[in-house]
Structure 1
Amino acid sequence: MASIYSNCYLNLAATHSPDSNGGLFFQRWIPSFNSKLHPKRQSVLSHLVPIQEPTIDGTAKVFVRQGLENAHIDMLIVDGGDRVYSVVETAPLATRAWAYQERLLSPRTVNVHSAELTWDCGSTPSTFDCECGHLKDQEFDLGDFHALQRNSFVGKYSDILMAKEFILTTWFDVVTQFSRLRLIFARDRLPALAGIAKHVANKTQSRAPTWSWASVDLITKRPCSKWINYHFAYDYHGGQWIDDRFEILDWKCETVGSNPHGCVIGGHLLVTGAVMVMTFNYDIFYDLIHNEEESWYFDFDIFDKNNAYIAEGESIVAMLVGVQGDDCSAILLIPARKEDGKYKRVGIVGKRTYEDFEGAEEMEIDII
């Protein structure tokens, strides 16, 4: 599907439609400003205005209508903000995970919104336009979150934004936004992003930077420190090297069908490296791991203070991976509860000194 949308000439999106039966043609409407949770539909009607003075030819008529709800704003807001209430009602397609990569990969799209048509074109720098005219002649703005993602995959800026300096931060932005969108079946999470993953994999010479986010629904949870993810993306190209004791011994990734970016049904990563065994403790302000000598602050992969995730006093293995100057970065692992002898990643530690891991024992770990 991703290749179909990437190579299409024009994508027509029934953005207003709640399901496949909605189609492109309907009586358009705007939401009532008095009902935020379930907005009442107001038809978009034109009214003839009586003209007191005759026109030159005597045939002109003047019509007025209520201003269109700014559909282009709804198209960009799928999580948070004062207007999120209306997006599910007025632009349900914008909340669907399956439609996300189609929107980013299509060279040009006409969105049939509940109130107006919007135009999204990647052939020139992030051209957005709409019937109400608010977006007319707007310049491409790198500060626009959607525009940055959009221009990473189509248009003349794609080669720049998909360069090694930006690729991992672009990927992090994409999966953060994608994880907020709605899916009926959890098994579709990876296939629904496979097209974008393929683009990223071609640039990084790997399948994708990580799938660790894929078990998370950010409608109810959020990723932890965005800064730490950007930090690692920067270090990836900023001179960080792999610790000599860290080595990948074996790996396996089982997918449904031949698409390596599709639905994953199993896999593991067998590694060896320098480790420190720490203990986890909750703190009012910070999450801490500690041993007999010191305590470290760390970042959860997912912000979920639930004892089913990591229990108070549970042992955590910190495995050294990357080194840059005197600083080092480690991944945090806990035993997998349903598979003996296996581990799963739960977070990262950055900005530790290399001395912390000098003399550390080496351990072989099977990560799932």
Structure 2
Amino acid sequence: MLCVFCLRVFNQPANHLPNGKWSAQVDWTISLFAVRLYDDCVSCQAIVRGLRGVDLPLGDDTTVAVRAIFFSPRTHGGCIESMPYATFTVSDAATKRRLCGTQILLEQVDEKGDAVLLRKVHGTTTGSPEALSFIKTNLQTCLGSHEACRAASAQTTWYPTRLIRVDGSHAQLVITAETPPDGPYASLSHRWGGADIIKCTQKTLPELKKGIPSSSLPATFRDALSATRFLGIGYIWIDSLCIVQDSASDWAAESKTMLGVYRHSVVNLAATCSRDSHSGLFSTRAPRGLHSGPFAASNGAVSGSFVAVEAALDADSWTAAVENAPLNARAWVLQERLLSPRVAHFAREQVLWDCPGLAAAETLPSGARAMPHLFRRGVGRKRGSNLLHVPAEPDRALGQWAAIVDAYSRCGLTFASDKVVAISGVVDHLRARSADRRFSCGLWRPRMEMQLCWLAAGPGAAERYGWLPSWSWMSVNGAVDAPRPDAFEGYVVTLFAEVRGVVEADGGGRLRLRCVTRPVGIETRPSLRLVGAGMDEFRSLALDVASPPELKGRLFFVPVFGVQEPAAVSTGRAFECRGLLLEQVDKSEGLYERRGHVFILAKSDSVSGTSQEITIA
């Protein structure tokens, strides 16, 4: 159903525009207690879900301002491309800060109250036969008719070293070289979450091969086996059961096969909303808050009986349900999502299907038919994604890699030593499709210069990993923003530095850079800034580490690249310049370490000078 506030949105007289489109706007303020109280209102519950990702203390007494706008269907070439929809934007009434947004889709129903594109769900858990049938139907359709999915899937048969065989109520670990599988396998993405769970060890391996009692498995594993059986899949790969956890050699060998493990799985079951292995793959839900049921709407532009659901595939809703979910805060999971040909996200309220041919939800099973225009945020959906493609244009390829870097750096790792290996499957995939490119600790060659100008997001990372080179974004344990060369299309980009090579070593190695080094100093008051020749138009300094150790060596600004509009090239006007703050750690060897990212407005004399070749560790 809809509450009295939200129902008013769809009965507010429409404002008609000359082009034939229309809209109607309604604003109101309401306490969060009241919003949460309307637990059977589709739009109020969509707002509640959106607020889960807000990093602010929001109590029941918080007053929010809601702006709802009901829009006419989108059209293209005179043809209607979508159904009517409403956007709900929620802000803190006191501070005016935007908190979240959501979109609601409407479809007119027939005299029986039935809709074509929007579906009502009945199951009270995401593990109901209804929810699992949604996955099974999409899997069968994908395997049978999705050209985009066939092109993206592995074309050869390959199996991991070990799999869990699912046979009726029985499960056992099999060594695939000894007992060759006779069908496809699924994979499970989950959070260990510090939970004490059953693992494959050198001691337990023989017992697991005999059989795995259901009672010994945590809820997430039991649910995953149940889903696998329902889908008619005979095997599943689960990391903690298929890698010998107390064998360094087995872990090292198996971690190198992650590309194959996920690429060849027929579907990935993602425990998206679960915080640990005991939370379960399935979750309980209240179906009444996912579908409005028929209601009357009349605003001078539309009139009749309609049903409404949340636009679960829209950027705001997808971000709340998937991108900001507990599972996707885990760094290892990023490559599991990217490499798997199909993912079934077990979100909190419903299952979401994601493959290159279709993004769909239980309430939106038709996907693009209901929502032909989908905006992307973060990793996003597979449909229309090009993150694992290697375009011919190098700048576009680096822009796609930057999106992966941004997402990966915002995820957490239990063991810092996994920073490189937890993304290695994606690297292996991209490297196999671009033989002319070389990978060095998070950066690609050639065209490595602009990639050096990553910057720490926010106040900087908590610490630097000393075993990784300072020039790599992998050396810090926090979020970074990677430069996107494709964003400068149409501008004149000038390089002031040249990468001459990387001396490979464990962890990445030392970088040889031919560049201009300009001595600078740091002032901390009234704000953090650089001083020195050419720093008159200083704009910002982003230190790599929020609280760096005392800088004992000499500091230098190294300009790396500049960007300006074509018309400004001959005018001598200042241009945007990005570069590095380096500390000299060994003068005799010409050895430096990176300390931060610098942005200035520069003129030619600010970046000119005698180039020299230096080494950055």
TM range (shorter): 0.5 to 0.7
SS at the partner of 2:413? coil
Quote how far apart the aligned CAs of 1:143 are: 4.1
| 1:189 lines up with 2:419 in the alignment | yes
The counterpart of 1:110, out of the listed 344, 356, 380, is 344
Quote how far apart the aligned CAs of 1:293 are: 6.5
The counterpart of 2:361, out of the listed 105, 125, 130, is 130
d(CA) in 1 for partners of 2:551, 2:323: 32
Amino acid corresponding to residue 407 of structure 2 in structure 1: Q
d(CA) in 2 for partners of 1:306, 1:166: 34
d(CA) in 2 for partners of 1:114, 1:349: 42
In the TM superposition, 1:88-107 aligns within 5 A as 92-107=326-341
**Residues 179-231 of structure 1, C-alpha deviation per residue, up to 9 Å, x if partnerless?**
2212101111221112333455555723134572213333xxx547x7xx34x
Quote how far apart the aligned CAs of 1:344 are: 1.8
Which residue matches 2:522?
280
d(CA) in 2 for partners of 1:303, 1:134: 45
Which residue matches 1:12?
269
Amino acid corresponding to residue 352 of structure 2 in structure 1: T
Which residue matches 1:343?
592
The counterpart of 1:2, out of the listed 259, 283, 296, is 259
Which residue matches 2:477?
217
Quote how far apart the aligned CAs of 1:77 are: 3.7
d(CA) in 1 for partners of 2:408, 2:510: 24
Which residue matches 1:297?
538
Relative to structure 1, the CA distance from residue 113 to residue 366 in structure 2 (aligned partners, 3 Å threshold; closer, same or farther) is same
Quote how far apart the aligned CAs of 1:233 are: 4.9
d(CA) in 2 for partners of 1:106, 1:192: 15
SS at the partner of 1:197? helix
Amino acid corresponding to residue 29 of structure 1 in structure 2: T
Task: Determine if contact 2:558/2:579 at 8 Å carries over to the other structure.
Answer: yes
The counterpart of 1:355, out of the listed 605, 614, 617, is 605
d(CA) in 1 for partners of 2:513, 2:603: 22
Quote how far apart the aligned CAs of 1:343 are: 1.6
Task: Determine if contact 1:105/1:153 at 8 Å carries over to the other structure.
Answer: no
SS at the partner of 1:181? coil
SS at the partner of 2:555? strand
d(CA) in 2 for partners of 1:164, 1:237: 15
SS at the partner of 1:308? coil
Which residue matches 1:240?
493
Aligned-residue Cα RMSD (Å) equals 4.0
Amino acid corresponding to residue 206 of structure 1 in structure 2: R
Quote how far apart the aligned CAs of 1:10 are: 1.8
Amino acid corresponding to residue 319 of structure 1 in structure 2: V
d(CA) in 1 for partners of 2:546, 2:613: 28
SS at the partner of 2:423? helix
d(CA) in 2 for partners of 1:149, 1:348: 35
Q: Give me the TM-score of the superposition, normalised by structure 1.
A: 0.63
Amino acid corresponding to residue 347 of structure 1 in structure 2: H
Rg comparison, structure with higher value: 2
Task: Determine if contact 1:165/1:237 at 8 Å carries over to the other structure.
Answer: no
Task: Determine if contact 1:252/1:268 at 8 Å carries over to the other structure.
Answer: yes
Which residue matches 2:379?
146
Counting matched residue pairs gives: 291
**Residues 30-59 of structure 1, C-alpha deviation per residue, up to 9 Å, x if partnerless?**
5xxxxxxxxxxxxx589xxxxxxxxxxxxx
Percent identical: 21
d(CA) in 2 for partners of 1:267, 1:131: 49
Quote how far apart the aligned CAs of 1:277 are: 0.7
* Gap runs ≥5 in structure 1: 31-43, 47-66, 79-86, 256-263
Q: Give me the TM-score of the superposition, normalised by structure 2.
A: 0.40
Quote how far apart the aligned CAs of 1:172 are: 2.1
